[in-house]
């Protein structure tokens, strides 16, 4: 699973998210990380996907296997 520090450092950057099979939109999504929310049950990433610009998608950190520069 992706580490919280990696997710925090990705804010504002274009990335590729490798997602678990349970995540909607997987197995990978590319886009810009708009922001991070630290919730009681873990971190949530907001992504502006390349394939649907302007329509943000959110992913709970436990659905993100890896994050890489796009």
Strand order in the sheet with 14-19: 57-60, 42-49, 28-39, 14-19, 64-69
Predicted confidence (pLDDT) at residue 2 exceeds the cutoff of 80: no
Task: Judge residue 1's burial from the number of C-beta atoms within 10 Å of its C-beta, 0-12 exposed, 13-18 middle, 19 or more buried.
Answer: exposed
Q: What pLDDT is stored for residue 20 in this prediction? A: 95
What CATH number does the domain located at 4-69 have?
2.30.30.60
pLDDT 10s digits, 34-59:
999 998 888 999 999 999 988 999 99
Average pLDDT for 13-40: 93
- Is the alpha carbon torsion for 26, 28, 32, 33 positive or negative? positive
Q: What pLDDT is stored for residue 1 in this prediction? A: 56
SS3 64: strand
Indicate the pLDDT class of residue 3, thresholds 50, 70 and 90: confident
Q: Scan for tokens 């971190």, then name that residue.
A: 43
């Amino acid at each position: 699973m992706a580490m919280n520090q990696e997710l925090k450092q990705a804010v504002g950057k274009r990335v590729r998210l490798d997602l678990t099979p349970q995540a909607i939109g997987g197995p990978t999504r590319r886009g810009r990380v708009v922001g991070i929310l630290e919730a009681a049950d873990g971190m949530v990433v907001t992504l502006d996907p390349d394939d649907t610009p302007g329509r943000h998608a959110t992913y709970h950190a436990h659905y993100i296997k890896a994050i890489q520069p796009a």
